[in-house]
Amino acid sequence: MISDSEVILRLVLAVLLSGLVGLEREAKGRAAGLRTHMLVCVGSCLMTLTGVYLMDSYPGAGIDPTRMAAQVISGIGFLGAGTIIQFRDSVRGLTTAASVWTAAGIGLAVGGGFYVGAVATTGLMLVVLLMLHRLEGRVGPKSKEVRDGDSR
């Protein structure tokens, strides 16, 4: 069984590593920038940790709990694509799509009883969405994306 501190370490590392990629994309003015990359990465990390947690929690049960999670992940990915709107040279909704997808991971975690992962991911998501907005605008050129709730 993975310890709680290991879970938090993995989630924080996912945010930090994807932040590096997101900063690079942001500096190039790409539509999917810092927050989007961070949310997608921390969400997928949570979903992987949830699968490990469920396998450890129900040994010998003869079930594969990851099959249901895989279907939820693809279904939410399809739903999230519907939140992305392209109009002329702007894209809207990428961060919303990523946050919906990550929220699905939180739901899978809570449903499986993986409370530490779900709570830690929620906290990290809020940091990404609420506190990194200012840094995002200072990194590089303004992208053509009009971010959720932002009118650049």
Q: What is the mean pLDDT of residues 5-10?
A: 96
* Assigned domain for 147 exists: no
* Assigned domain for 99 exists: yes
* Assigned domain for 145 exists: no
* Assigned domain for 39 exists: yes
* 3-class SS letters over 40-102: HHHHHHHHHHHHHHHHHHCCCCCCCCHHHHHHHHHHHHHHHHCCCEEECCEEECHHHHHHHHH
Q: How far apart are CA 35 and CA 127, in angstroms?
A: 10
pLDDT at 151: 43
pLDDT at 122: 95
Highest mean pLDDT among 33-42, 86-95, 116-125: 116-125
* Assigned domain for 151 exists: no
* Assigned domain for 13 exists: yes
**Has residue 71 got a pLDDT over 50?**
yes
For the chain, the average pLDDT equals 83
Specify the pTM: 0.71
**Has residue 111 got a pLDDT over 80?**
yes
Q: How many domains are contained in the chain? A: 1
Provide the residue range defining the domain that includes 105.
4-139
pLDDT per residue over 8-62, tens digit each? Answer: 999 999 999 999 988 888 887 777 789 989 998 999 999 888 888 888 888 887 7
